[in-house]
Structure 1
Amino acid sequence: MGGLRDVTAPFVVPGPSGVAVRDRLKHLTPQDEKVLRLVGAHLGSLASRDLKARCGDALEHSAGTWAARKRELTAESSSRWAGSITKATHDQWALARRGQTAHLHSLEAGVRTIRHRLSLPVGDKGTKHTPGGYRSAREWFSKTRRLHVLEDRLDKVRADRENGVVHVVRGGKRLLGTRHHLDAAQLTETQWRECWEAGRWFLQADGESGKRFGNETIRISPGGEVSIRLPAPLTELANAGHGRYVLAAKVRFAHRGQEWADRVEANRAVAYRIHYDVPRGRWYVTASWQIPPTKTVPLQAALAEGVIGVDTNADHLAAWRLDVHGNPIGRPRRFFYDLSGTTLHRDAQVRHALSRLLHWAKTCGVKAIAVEDLDFAAEKTREKHGRRRRFRRLISAMPTGRLRARLTSMADATGISIIAVDPAYTSKWGAQHWQKPMTAPRRKTTRHDAASIAIGRRAQGHPIRRRTAPPRAHQSDVHGHRTVQARPDTLGREEPRPRIPGPRTRSVPPDAARTRATRTSKTVRGVRSGQEWVQDSLLLTD
């Protein structure tokens, strides 16, 4: 057991700190779409210029430079538009900085692995935790060349990191690369250009408490009327007072609509974002606001009604319900999803699978769902797994971050707690101790189903190992306890089963235990049947 790593304790995942709802802008007039396109393009050019200035400041950024950039943007838009642009710029720069750090760690892990394997003899066998040498001299030589490439990349990324240089593309690097592969993306140049321009528009405004309806820039009334404060160069397009343009569309948020209406009527801050979906040809508006963090339920209170253990896989969720003692109840459930296709399709598949999982949990009356706290950031490197391309594709396709965020947000609305457990050895030990015992003639238990049991038991504090029945020399418990489940805090749970007086078979009458001590046998060894046996009186002497 010395080679096993320590397993961290399970914990209840805190609830979400914000809410976002979306609705479609229907029945827009051609003039409405023209105004939205002009405003988005104008503010998008300002956002691109501001992002360039922020990247140029690098580590020399300060409150003074931020204020100077905001003053320059205010003259061409408005004070609130300038504030939203500069805040979005800083968020994008910080995101690029975090991505740069993750890329740096990935390169360091790759260089470290290649150097270790190159130092070993060719064909040297590795261990379970440490890779061995390369298989052939040809592979060894190719890896020496790759090592030089990775070291060169690592030096550049380190230099950028030290100088505060980040590489950001407004509109997305993936969409930019699609320009060179239009046939594979099944797009024409005109379609790509429309997607590129729409991706670089800027139509989002932060909320402000105390102002009318919680937002002075993009305002939506409780009745659903949408109005936009036009930038200074486009004020001649206004159709309402104070340089505002009112859209013909009416907004009605179906999800959390009452909560949104309460905030708007109380003039509490609500942020809005308007964007255009090019493939569908539709306009959408997204409203978001902060909510106070939900008070975390104690772990024991969440597990009072049992738990559902969930094993996350590339194409489905394997779930099994466990009672308070860690025993599987009923049959395993699997919730499938398809992660091929567009981003919207993948997101919808994940959302539908989680909806079915939460609905089943509510039906069972369980108040907790246990999931693995997965993070494959250090496991996706090409150098760690070498030729195991299928395994690398498998872990890369698992939407761990999206599932965790979605499940936490959706479970908070249903009152179900999410418990995160350490993923160490759950699949291995689950298959070792639970796959075969839970397999029945009409039920095939997979390795993922057994892992879900292990996850649920770890959340409850039970050991994953089953209690196996000892070899039985006779009917007593001379070889230890029998197969039974008990809570870890149950006194005497490791002791033999207590002796219960009375008969052990069902053929004895119910009152046999009461009359057993008073009954006498009618037969005795060496005495003919029917002959009464009488005990002689004892001789009492002084």
Structure 2
Amino acid sequence: MAELRPIDPPFVALGPSGVAIRDRFKGLTAEDDKVLCLVGLHLGSLASKDLAARCRDGLEHSTDTWAARKRELTSQSSSRWAGAITKATHDQWALARRCQLAHIQNLEAGIKTIRHRLSLPIGEKGSKKAPGGYRSKQEWFAKARRLQVLEDRLERERTDREAGRVRVVRGGKRLARARHNLGAAQLTETGWRQRWEAERWFIQADGESGKRCGNETIRVTPDGEVSIKLPAPLAHLANAKHGRYVFAARVRFPHRGQEWANRIEANRAVAYRIHYDVARGRWYLTASWQYQPTKTIPIEAALAEGVIGVDTNADHIAAWRLDIHGNPIGQPRRFFYDLSGTAEHRDAQVRHTLTRLLNWAKTCGVRTVAIEDLDFGAEKTREKHGRKKRFRQLISGMPTGKLRARLTSMADAAGIAIIAVDPAYTSKWGAQHWQNPLTSSKRKTTRHDAASIAIGRRAQGHPIRRRTVPPPHDQSDRVGHRTVQADRRAHGCEELRPRIPGPRTRCAGTGCGANTGDQCAQHRSGHAAEHVQLMLSL
């Protein structure tokens, strides 16, 4: 029998550490639009030059080089714009380094898998833990060539990482590659140019605590008036004091608007970003701020009113409510979503599904949702699953990271705790112990519904296996005596049966008498009572 891996204990997930809200600029005049384009173009060119300088520094970067770059940018914009640009540059460089390390680890995993499969005989079957050999000589030869390609890529990436060299494209690599294939991207050259320039514009400023409305560079008043500090070369466009430009458009934030208003009235830091959507032809303003994550409550307190187990799938999430004892209540619920189409459509589908789930949890009075702590980073590579394209697409299509991030944020706002559990064997054991008993002529329980029960019981600390049924007649006990097995770690015997007081009769009932708990006094073969009778007969 294969050895099972240890199961990690469940834990209460931390809430979000920040929030971002967005609203559209409505009522912009032609002059406002012109100023935004000029500011974005000027600051975007400075951001591109600063990013190139940071990439040239590589691992030799220091606080002195950072200060030198900031002084150079200050003369062409302002000290606050220069600080925002250099901070964004460092964040982008650090992100590129993390992505580079993840790419190296992915290449190493692919090379290891190919080497293992090449070492096996052709046609050898694999196991659940390791893939088998390749099916034919042709596939073996093609994978041998791919191994050489991956090894060359790995050597090049390792060399770049040791030298501190990263490759970053301001505006996005996908959009840059679309320029060479406009037909497939369904873009014209003019349309692509507009999108490319808009993506490379830079109009964002970090918040400052203690300053008026929480930001000195991009200021938004409680009544929605927006003004920005113009860079030095564009100061002649100002229409207010101190080189500021006040826009005719007003903004308001329907979502978390009161929270935002409380922050700016207290002059707490709020960061802003202004960006242009070319497809819609609209300007948007995004406000964001950070706060301390909500302290997690003890897991025992979170489970005081039961739990809702959630199983994540490629096209829906299956949920079932459990009581405090781990028993399913009511009917299973399935919340479907469609992850085809654009990124905005997929994100909207995930948010709508989670909203329905959380509303159902509040209706039931349950304050806790249990979900698997999934990460398919190493499970969806083409080298491990080979020709199983549909299976790889199934795994890749499951929005594990986005759903987990969205769920923790939305659940924190709704006052619902999230418990993350180990995903090991939940689908297998749930189907084994819960699918058939909960299936009837009026209800068809799926494998995913049973997995949601397993997830909820694991969050509660209960075993996934169901309680044992009573034994049949004339086997150890009558039906109805034993409803659950004793724990396997309990080595002791049952205690003595208590004496039940009652009226005196000629015959003593069950549970009465001095020798009720003395097993040696019972009529059983081999006990001391039998030996005493034999000695007296002699």
TM-score by length of 2: 0.90
1: distance between equivalents of 2:74 and 2:148?
48
- Which residue does the alignment assign to 1:291? 291
Residue 438, structure 1, aligned to residue 431, structure 2: no
- Which residue does the alignment assign to 1:112? 112
User: Counterparts of 1:27-426 in structure 2 under 5 Å?
Assistant: 27-426=27-426
1: distance between equivalents of 2:276 and 2:471?
69
Secondary structure class of the residue paired with 1:242? helix
Secondary structure class of the residue paired with 2:241? coil
- 1:255 corresponds to which letter in structure 2? H
Q: Shift in Å at residue 292 of structure 1?
A: 1.7
Contact 1:481 / 1:497 at 8 angstroms: preserved in 2? no
Residues 480-516 of structure 1, C-alpha deviation per residue, up to 9 Å, x if partnerless?
A: 9745699x9xx99x999998999xxxxxxxxxx9999
Contact 1:477 / 1:496 at 8 angstroms: preserved in 2? no
2: distance between equivalents of 1:485 and 1:69?
71
Contact 1:480 / 1:496 at 8 angstroms: preserved in 2? no
Q: Shift in Å at residue 467 of structure 1?
A: 2.2
Contact 2:226 / 2:249 at 8 angstroms: preserved in 1? yes
- 2:313 corresponds to which letter in structure 1? N
- 1:4 corresponds to which letter in structure 2? L
- 1:107 corresponds to which letter in structure 2? L
- Deviating above 4 A after TM superposition, structure 1's stretches of 4 or more consecutive aligned residues are 478-486, 494-502, 513-519
Residues 217-239 of structure 1, C-alpha deviation per residue, up to 9 Å, x if partnerless?
A: 00001111000101111111111
Q: Shift in Å at residue 477 of structure 1?
A: 3.5
Q: Shift in Å at residue 185 of structure 1?
A: 2.6
1: distance between equivalents of 2:474 and 2:498?
17
2: distance between equivalents of 1:95 and 1:516?
85
Residues 327-386 of structure 1, C-alpha deviation per residue, up to 9 Å, x if partnerless?
A: 111111111111111111111111110101100010111111001111111112111111
Percent identical residues? 75
Q: Shift in Å at residue 150 of structure 1?
A: 0.6
1: distance between equivalents of 2:462 and 2:361?
21
- 1:138 corresponds to which letter in structure 2? Q
Secondary structure class of the residue paired with 2:116? helix
Contact 1:482 / 1:497 at 8 angstroms: preserved in 2? no
Go from structure 1 to structure 2 and tell me whether the alpha carbon gap of 1:514 and 1:260 turns closer, same or farther (over 3 Å shift): same
Contact 1:208 / 1:215 at 8 angstroms: preserved in 2? yes
Contact 1:318 / 1:332 at 8 angstroms: preserved in 2? yes
Contact 1:480 / 1:495 at 8 angstroms: preserved in 2? no
Contact 2:311 / 2:371 at 8 angstroms: preserved in 1? yes
- 1:34 corresponds to which letter in structure 2? K
Residue 451, structure 1, aligned to residue 451, structure 2: yes
2: distance between equivalents of 1:207 and 1:217?
8
- 1:336 corresponds to which letter in structure 2? F
1: distance between equivalents of 2:198 and 2:461?
51
Give structure 2 stretches of 5+ with no counterpart: 508-538
Secondary structure class of the residue paired with 1:228? strand
1: distance between equivalents of 2:186 and 2:47?
30
1: distance between equivalents of 2:368 and 2:496?
33
2: distance between equivalents of 1:321 and 1:257?
33
Bigger mean CA deviation after superposition, 57-66 or 182-191: 182-191
2: distance between equivalents of 1:320 and 1:347?
24
- 2:288 corresponds to which letter in structure 1? S
Give structure 1 stretches of 5+ with no counterpart: 503-512, 520-542
Q: Shift in Å at residue 77 of structure 1?
A: 0.6
Go from structure 1 to structure 2 and tell me whether the alpha carbon gap of 1:176 and 1:480 turns closer, same or farther (over 3 Å shift): farther
Go from structure 1 to structure 2 and tell me whether the alpha carbon gap of 1:21 and 1:499 turns closer, same or farther (over 3 Å shift): farther
2: distance between equivalents of 1:387 and 1:33?
52
Go from structure 1 to structure 2 and tell me whether the alpha carbon gap of 1:156 and 1:25 turns closer, same or farther (over 3 Å shift): same
Contact 1:179 / 1:192 at 8 angstroms: preserved in 2? yes
Secondary structure class of the residue paired with 1:76? coil
Residue 18, structure 1, aligned to residue 23, structure 2: no
Contact 1:274 / 1:285 at 8 angstroms: preserved in 2? yes
Secondary structure class of the residue paired with 2:423? coil
Residues 128-175 of structure 1, C-alpha deviation per residue, up to 9 Å, x if partnerless?
A: 211111111111111110100110111011111111111111111111
- 2:225 corresponds to which letter in structure 1? E
Residues 245-300 of structure 1, C-alpha deviation per residue, up to 9 Å, x if partnerless?
A: 10111111111111111111111110001111111111111111111221111000
RMSD: 2.6
2: distance between equivalents of 1:384 and 1:151?
17
- 1:461 corresponds to which letter in structure 2? G
Q: Shift in Å at residue 473 of structure 1?
A: 2.4
- 1:49 corresponds to which letter in structure 2? K
- 1:211 corresponds to which letter in structure 2? K
Go from structure 1 to structure 2 and tell me whether the alpha carbon gap of 1:497 and 1:359 turns closer, same or farther (over 3 Å shift): farther
Go from structure 1 to structure 2 and tell me whether the alpha carbon gap of 1:241 and 1:131 turns closer, same or farther (over 3 Å shift): same
Contact 2:316 / 2:336 at 8 angstroms: preserved in 1? yes
Go from structure 1 to structure 2 and tell me whether the alpha carbon gap of 1:156 and 1:483 turns closer, same or farther (over 3 Å shift): farther
1: distance between equivalents of 2:278 and 2:502?
84
1: distance between equivalents of 2:220 and 2:199?
23
Contact 1:481 / 1:496 at 8 angstroms: preserved in 2? no
Go from structure 1 to structure 2 and tell me whether the alpha carbon gap of 1:399 and 1:498 turns closer, same or farther (over 3 Å shift): farther
Equivalenced residue count is 508
- Which residue does the alignment assign to 1:532? none
2: distance between equivalents of 1:501 and 1:441?
46
Go from structure 1 to structure 2 and tell me whether the alpha carbon gap of 1:239 and 1:516 turns closer, same or farther (over 3 Å shift): farther
